[in-house]
Amino acid sequence: MSELRARLSKATKAAMKEKAAERLGTLRLISAAIKDKDIAARATGNDEGVSDDEVLAILGKMVKQRQESAKAYEEGGRLDLAERELAEIVVVEEFLPRKLDETEVEAAIDAALAEVGASSIRDMGRVMGVLKANHTGQMDFGAVGPKIKDRLSATG
């Protein structure tokens, strides 16, 4: 069992003992999403299930979904549901690596541009691939995309 899965299991057991129903529900949602991906991976012949990188991608997707839901609930005047989504985000983010600050994001973009040897907008996919491989869960790729595009547009 990977360290990430062990932390998730330990947190789930602790939430059960503490009778923290909302936290436990979120942890079970995380486990279910991972198990779904494990089952899909087994269907393709991968008996070990998904890697930690794929688990981080699942967690990142869960955060993004909840952010979108919270925004929709706020716009619809359902603050109670928005608060629940935001509380779930806090639990999910416990298992993600520390977010990079703006300076670190810029440095990561510079390193990826140099690694790929990017010179035009056509290299954007390769740059994003490098960033996703090295920084999954550490940055918002939706915000990073336009920054890379601006840099490549300025150079090419």
Go through the domains of the chain in sequence order and give each one's CATH number: 3-93 (1.10.1510.10), 102-155 (1.10.10.410)
Q: What is the structure's pLDDT at 11?
A: 93
- What are 134-148's pLDDT values in tens digits? 887 778 777 888 888
> CA 54: distance to chain centroid?
9
Maximum CA extent, the chain: 58
The answer to whether residue 156 scores a pLDDT higher than 60 is no
Of the two residues 117 and 25, the one the predictor is more confident about is: 25
How far apart, in whole angstroms, are the C-alpha atoms of residue 86 and residue 82?
6
How far apart, in whole angstroms, are the C-alpha atoms of residue 64 and residue 89?
9
How far apart, in whole angstroms, are the C-alpha atoms of residue 73 and residue 76?
5
Q: What angle do CA 134, 60, 58 make, to 5 degrees?
A: 95
Q: What is the structure's pLDDT at 71?
A: 94
Mean pLDDT to the nearest integer, 36-63: 84
- What are 4-40's pLDDT values in tens digits? 888 999 999 999 999 999 999 999 999 999 999 988 8
Which position has the token pair 């981080």? 56
CB-side exposure of 21: number of CA atoms within 13 Å? 1
How far apart, in whole angstroms, are the C-alpha atoms of residue 106 and residue 123?
17
